Amino acid sequence: MSTEINLEKLYNNSVKILTDLIGFRTISGEDNSELINYCEDYLHKLGATSFKTFDDKKKRVNLFATLKAKKTNGIKPIILSGHTDTVPVSKSWSTDPFKATIKGDKLYGRGSCDMKGFIACALAFAPIYASTNLNRDIHFSFTFDEETACLGAPILIKELKKRNIKDGICIVGEPTKMKIIDAHKGCYEYTTYFEGLAGHSSAPHKGVSAVEFATRYANKLIELREDLKKSS
């Protein structure tokens, strides 16, 4: 019976926290400090330590908070990682996107799934972690502007390296239809420049068309993409 009551309390607490988080208008590119302060205050009351990192204008904030274990015996920490921003609101909403609305067994609100829902669950479990004799540190990593260009995470990672926080198991709570994904696609971004040689249309062989070589380059990338599709 006690387990059922605890589960019900945990569920209700996660819904309460998610309702609060949805109320913060943390659209990408805008100020997310109120939500971060909410999370930090919540975790501080449970005994967590924390630090913040900021963008150049001190407008957008990352939070990294920790519930420390008394003894870890070398056991790697767990990082619960989520982004706090959401994409802009479309005109198709039939409810207030910044007010949690429950219909049946579903909760509607901007970011309820991607990914304030995960942050709410992580915070709801935090009191359990805080009252447990942990054998590893539990980190909470909440970043800004993932939905645009992943601007917040690199700033936080740079600070983690300075603080020698580098080993651990990271659980990223992106929506995956409740299936565990043990890896993620990576990517590289390059800026490529093409320079030509001016020539007259009467003797094109004496010039070099930058556009032509850029087109060849693009076509080669398309061929490479198709080859990778076949090998995946």
Catalytically annotated residue among 40, 85, 114, 145: 85
Tokens of 212: 């032509």
- Residue 232: the pLDDT is 65
Distance CA 119, CA 141 (A): 9
Distance CA 110, CA 89 (A): 8
DSSP-derived letter for residue 74 is T
- Residue 189: the pLDDT is 82
Per-residue pLDDT of the chain (232 residues), as tens digits, is 333 448 889 999 999 999 999 999 999 999 999 999 999 999 999 999 999 999 998 999 999 999 999 888 889 999 999 999 999 998 889 999 999 999 999 999 999 999 999 999 999 999 999 999 999 999 999 999 999 888 999 999 999 999 999 888 999 999 999 899 988 777 788 899 999 999 998 988 899 999 999 999 999 999 999 998 888 6
Question: Which residues, in sequence order, are CB contacts of 64 under 8 Å at separation 6+?
Answer: 50, 51, 52, 53, 139, 140, 141, 142, 156, 159, 160, 165
- Residue 164: the pLDDT is 93
Helix, strand, coil abundance in the chain, percent, nearest 5: 35, 15, 45
Q: Does the annotation mark 146 as catalytic?
A: yes
Q: Which domains does the chain have, with CATH numbers?
A: 2-172 (3.40.630.10), 190-232 (no CATH)
Q: Does the annotation mark 212 as catalytic?
A: no
- Residue 171: the pLDDT is 95
- Residue 82: the pLDDT is 97
- Residue 187: the pLDDT is 78
Angle between helices 2-22 and 33-44 (to 10 degrees): 150
- Residue 97: the pLDDT is 96
Phi and psi at residue 118, in whole multiples of 5°? -65, -45
- Residue 215: the pLDDT is 97
Catalytically annotated residue among 40, 114, 146, 147: 146
Q: In 3D, which of 125, 116, 141, 222 has the Cα closest to residue 107?
A: 116
- Residue 144: the pLDDT is 97
Distance CA 178, CA 163 (A): 33
Instruction: Give the bridge partners for 172, in sequence order.
Output: 81
- Residue 228: the pLDDT is 87
| Reported pTM | 0.83
